[in-house]
Each structure stands twice: as C-alpha cells, then as structure tokens.
Structure 1
Amino acid sequence: MGEIKRVTKTLIEYLKRPDLYPELGRKIIKNTLNRGNAVKGKDKTNSWATSKALSQKDTIKKLFGTDDFSFRQNYQEILNESFAKEKACPIKMGGAGALELIFYASEFTNAKNILETGVAYGWSSLAALLSLQKRNGTLYSSDMPYLGQNGDQFVGVIVPEKLKKLWRLFRFADKESLPKIFSENDIFDVIHYDSDKSYDGRVWAYNELYKHLRKGGVFLSDDIGDNSAYQDFCEINNIESTVVEFEGKFVGVFIK
C-alpha cells in the first residue's frame, strides 16, 4: 500500500508540471516496455570493472600526475559543515561520492566550465565548486525535481551560499536540461554523469555529453556497474577508461 501511495503522489506531482510531461512519458516506457534494460550487461561490466579497478588515490596519480590527496584536510571545515547539513536534512538523497576524483579532475584541467547531471544533496557540486572558485568558473548542473518526496527545497542543501554565485542549476530531466545548458555554454573541461541509471538513458546522455567535452577534458560517470552502457560506450568509441572502486561501486573516468 505504501508503494501505491508513493507512485500515486509522484504521478499527481508530475501532472501539476506540464514542463515535465516528456519525462513522465519516458518513465512510463522505461518502467514498462524497457524495464529489463536497467540491468542489461550488468554481469559482464562488473567482471570488466573488477579486473581494472583502482583506488581513488591511485587513479588521481595515474591520470592527473599528482600525489596530492589532501582535499579533505584542506577543506575539512567546509566538509564538516556540509555533513552536518546533510544529517539535519529530513529528506534522504544520495550521499557523498568520490569527491577527491571530481576535485582533482577539475584542478588537472584548470577547469572554468564544468557540467554535472544529478545533484541531490550537492556533494559532487561542492567538490567541483571548490575548485572552480579559484578561477571564478561556472558549474552547470542538471537535476530532475524530486517529485512526490517534498525534496525540491533540499536539492544542493550542503553547498555553501558563498559558492552558489558560480552555480547554474537546471531543474529538468537531462533531455530538457542539457539543450538549455548547451545554449549557454557549449564546451566543458569536466563532465560528471550521475543521473538516469537506465541503459538507454546512459547511452543517450554519454553520446550527447561527449560531443561537448573538450579535448584534454575529463569525463566521469558514477555507478557504471548498474549495466554495461558505460563499457559499451567506451568500446564503441575506442576509449581507454580507468575504473575506480569506491565504497563497493564503480566509477568510470577517462581523459578525452
């Protein structure tokens, strides 16, 4: 009964937002006709990822050429304040990911423009913004509203107010947000994907995002073990990806 109530509430919230009708249609198809695609190739990719996996620290040294791993020490006060904000938040969203990887990718590219899909509490946003503030850069974020959870007001809640002047947040599904973002900025130094986890959603997004990543830019994708979309994308495009094991999950990262 609780699940039915949640689905009904979410549907009602969708119906109040005509601008989200395209995503509603896609979700209906994904959860009915294409339901099996969510885990397509999962076993294959987990075997592939396990055989290649490195730690964050080893990956940062390998790709970005630095032994510096002092991110958490350097920003301890800000991170502690952000963890306190997460703890106080009444809505449960995705936790902090591989923050060092995002931060040092931004440092390596001397990033001025970063794009991310998926925000939740704003941990990846924070890691990117802490680097961007050094160059007065801009973070462009795509994040689907948290319909039915009363969570919209808490998206990005852990990001300090002083950093928000560098942040452009687009509250639509990726297929609506990304064209709006690309109309403002076309090329990015770092792209971080952490939104639609379905196979088809990833394939569409990877191909679209890759076109807007500059040569020498860094591409990161969370949760690549959910299905084989990331592995397939890399193989089709002859991309040699590094895989990071982080808290039992896999992150894909490569330099274009």
Structure 2
Amino acid sequence: MLHAEFRDPLLVAVYDAECPWTHEDDFFLRVVGEVPGRRVLDLGCGTGRPALGLAAAGHVVTGVDPARASLRAARAKPGSERVTWVEGTSADLPDATFDVAVMTSHVAQFFVTDEEFGRALTDLRRALVAGGRLVFDTRDPEARRWEAWNPVDSHRRVELADGTAVTAWTEVTAVIDGAVSFTHHYSFSDRRQLQSTATLRFRTEEEVRAALRAAGFQVEHVYGGWNREPVGDGDGELLVIARR
C-alpha cells in the first residue's frame, strides 16, 4: 500500500512508536517560537507530534493531513483538543489565515513532481498573511541518505504499547532523476507481514530556492543541520525558512 504507515491503523501505531519527539522537532519549535502566540499551520501533520508540541507552547495550531488514520491517532492523544484537525490537502487551506506554516518530517519530499511542489507552495503562500513565514525540512541529495535505506543498515525492532514486537527494514527500489522509490517491510511477532511503498523527491538547494521564488517566497535562511550549521556541514539536511 502506498504510504501505508500513514493510512493503515496498525502501521500508524508502528510509525508513532518509531518517531518520538527529537531535536528535529525542537528546531521547528524554536523557529516558530521566535514570536509567541502565532497562528500556525502544520501541513502534513500526520499523527500530530509537532502540532501538539506547538499548541502546548501557546500557539494556535491547525493540523492538515489527507490520511484519516493518522488524524484519528492525533485526535486520540492528550492535548489534541488544543489543535484544529483538518482532513485535507494544501488545496483546502483558507486564504491569509496563518502567521507561520510548517512542513516537518520531510513532508516537502512527498511532492514528487515539480508541478505538485509548485502547487503546494502556491497554496501555502495563499494561506499565509503578508510577511508570514514558511519553515520546512528536506534532505540534501548531496548526503545521499537513501544509500542507508537497505535491509542491513535500516533493520530495526519496534515495540508497540501493547507489547507487540515488530521487525522493520527498508529497501530502495529505484533512483531516477532525484526521485527515490522504496518499500518499508514490517514483520510482526504474530507473523503478519505488511509493506508500505513510497517515492520521495530529493531536491538540491538551488531547486528548492527556485521553486520558492516561483511561488512568491523570499528565502531567509537555508541551514544544513538542526543546530543551524551551513549547508554541507550539518546533518545532510536543507532546513528552509522563507517569507511570503
């Protein structure tokens, strides 16, 4: 199933167990928190981890995601009543409503074609107030992170809240013009076997900057690491802060 870790309730639970709050979330919290009490959009909010953290910090947060199973998990978490949850895409965003928009957990890479990415950025610009900020992360293709997505290096064990053990691993199936396709494999202790497929786009810094300019954004910063290191000297990331 395409993106099953966001759409299959069982794999949503695995995703949640694999993805606790980390220093990556701290980066977004710090950037958004540079001005308190912001109206924040979390596009591609998934199971709600960053959205809930931003709401707990005092921001007015709206989380938007097309995956119903992920939103169901988000709504079940403590503090979820502080967030407005919307099942939808960037096309459903209201005009001139948010001070800050974020896309965390490499959501920007899910827009594989240039047309898809351009439409999403245009929608985000429309949803921001004048001077509003857009903050997102995307992996730097120069770091070639997908080379570690193989059955040996990606092999991991995940334990769910109910005690179920899951063995998971990832394998890349194609790399074509910056688009990396792969399959996540999940083996459960009760012998169930599930898979999730996806394709992510790895854009260069110049490609990211060009797409933002075309959508009407001004780029303020692009960092290479979660401690705001220069591109190429950090964590293999492109951490982007742009302004409408």
Give the TM-score of the pair, scaled to structure 1. 0.50
8 A Cα contact 2:29 2:54, kept in partner: yes
8 A Cα contact 1:129 1:139, kept in partner: yes
Gap change, CA 1:153 and 1:110, over 3 Å in 2: closer
Match of 2:219 among 240, 243, 256: 240
1:223 to 2:138 alignment = yes
1:108-143 C-alpha deviation (Å, 9 max, x unpaired): 2323311111122323213321222xxxx4211111
Q: Which has the higher contact order (CA 8 A, sep 6+)?
A: 1
Match of 1:139 among 49, 53, 61: 61
Distance between the aligned counterparts of 1:104 and 1:187, measured in 2? 21
How large is the RMSD of aligned CA atoms in angstroms? 3.4
Q: Percent identity?
A: 11
Unpaired stretches in structure 1, ≥5 consecutive residues: 1-5, 14-88
Distance between the aligned counterparts of 1:129 and 1:191, measured in 2? 13
1:117 to 2:65 alignment = no
Give the TM-score of the pair, scaled to structure 2. 0.52
Offset at 1:168?
1.0
8 A Cα contact 1:187 1:212, kept in partner: yes
Gap change, CA 1:111 and 1:233, over 3 Å in 2: farther
Unpaired stretches in structure 2, ≥5 consecutive residues: 141-201, 226-234
Aligned to 1:102: 28
Q: Secondary structure at the residue paired with 1:251?
A: strand
Give the structure with the higher percent helix.
1
Aligned to 1:67: none
Output the amino acid matched with 1:168. T
Aligned to 1:197: 111
Offset at 1:224?
6.0
1:165 to 2:88 alignment = no
Give the structure with the higher percent strand.
2
Aligned to 1:250: 238
Q: Secondary structure at the residue paired with 2:219?
A: coil
